[in-house]
Homo-oligomer: A and B are copies of this chain.
Amino acid sequence: MNDSPEAGLDRDRIQSIERGFAVLLAFDEESPSPTATEVAERTGLSRPAVRRILLTLQHLGYVKVSGQRWMLTPRVLTIGQHFAATNSIIEVTQPHLLRLAERTGESASLAQLDGIDVIYIARVHARRVLSLNVDIGTRLPAHATAMGRVLAAFGGADEVDRIINEGGLPALTSRTVTDPINFRDILHQVRVDGFAIVDGELEEGFLSASAPVRDAKGAVIAAIAYSTSRARQTPEEVARDVLPILREIALDIGSDLAVLGDRPRVLALGARNTFS
């Protein structure tokens, strides 16, 4: 009965693992501490299956029970640590982001592309208060962010197609560019300019500039960004005052990466015990 061309999708995929993550991700703001039955409903799995998975995750330390209600434990945060530990770019970039934030007095970020989103992988907040939670691990739609456009412009054509077709360029404000042709033109311009500035297309009043970070081979592996409020600066001011700094710092990061190379990893170990 698996004769249909679509069926039999990959015999090389392990159902239980996919189920495990489905359960783990069933914990969200809509259901922060669900019962096993609730998890079963949300995931579409049978209750005994969910129970087995929750017990497994509990044994691994990622969830705990309190009465009938299950909760994530802080241990899930450590999974992300492995990403940081395996990407020298984060370590390398941190001081440069700090420098950027200090010279400008605004927020500085580092991000990579993930499907149709960008994900922040490092960030230094503006001292200017009330940052609020655009923090490491946060996803934002690539098409309406300066970093997303830089990463798309210098990434593969398939990634651009995915953003257009899969994502569909939804309007997030009245200013969001939603026309594919227009969008491709913009990306072309980004490729020519070597930077992107986005003004209020993600959120009204939010202004951001981004430049690509290149590895030793010249491949774009991330983007850095400067973010501010339209109330404080115009795009023209950003282009004039901030862009040179931003591009310089992007190049500096590239140089540092080239020095490090993919060479035998030096001890990044002590980092765990290094304090301010």
Contact = CB atoms under 8 A, between A and B. Distances in A.
Contacts of A272: 133, 138, 140
Contacts of A193: none
B12 A52 contact: yes
A133 B274 contact: yes
Nearest to A72: B83
B60 A28 contact: no
Interface stretch (A13-21, A153-161, A251-259): A13-21
Interface in A234-268: 265, 268
A94 B125 CA distance: 13
A130 interface: yes
A52 B16 CA distance: 12
Contact of A79 (B80, B106, B229, B265): B80
A102 B131 CA distance: 14
Give the secondary structure class of A's interface: mixed
A56 B10 CA distance: 10
A38 to B, nearest CB: 13
A163 interface: no
Given A14-B20, A80-B77, A137-B81, A130 B276 contact: yes
Contacts of A14: 16, 20, 52-53, 56
Interface in A110-163: 111-112, 114-115, 119-121, 125-140
B29 A269 contact: yes
Interface in A199-235: 202-203, 206, 227, 229
A98 interface: yes
B18 A60 contact: yes
A171 interface: no
A158 B146 CA distance: 50
Given A85-B32, A94-B132, A119-B74, A16 B13 contact: no
A121 B275 contact: no
18 contacts: A14-B53, A18-B56, A25-B82, A27-B85, A29-B86, A29-B268, A32-B86, A32-B87, A73-B114, A75-B119, A76-B82, A77-B80, A131-B276, A132-B276, A133-B274, A134-B275, A203-B273, A227-B276
Given A13-B59, A29-B85, A74-B112, 19 more contacts: A12-B51, A13-B52, A17-B53, A24-B79, A24-B82, A27-B85, A32-B87, A72-B82, A72-B83, A74-B111, A74-B114, A76-B79, A76-B82, A78-B139, A126-B276, A127-B127, A130-B276, A133-B274, A227-B275
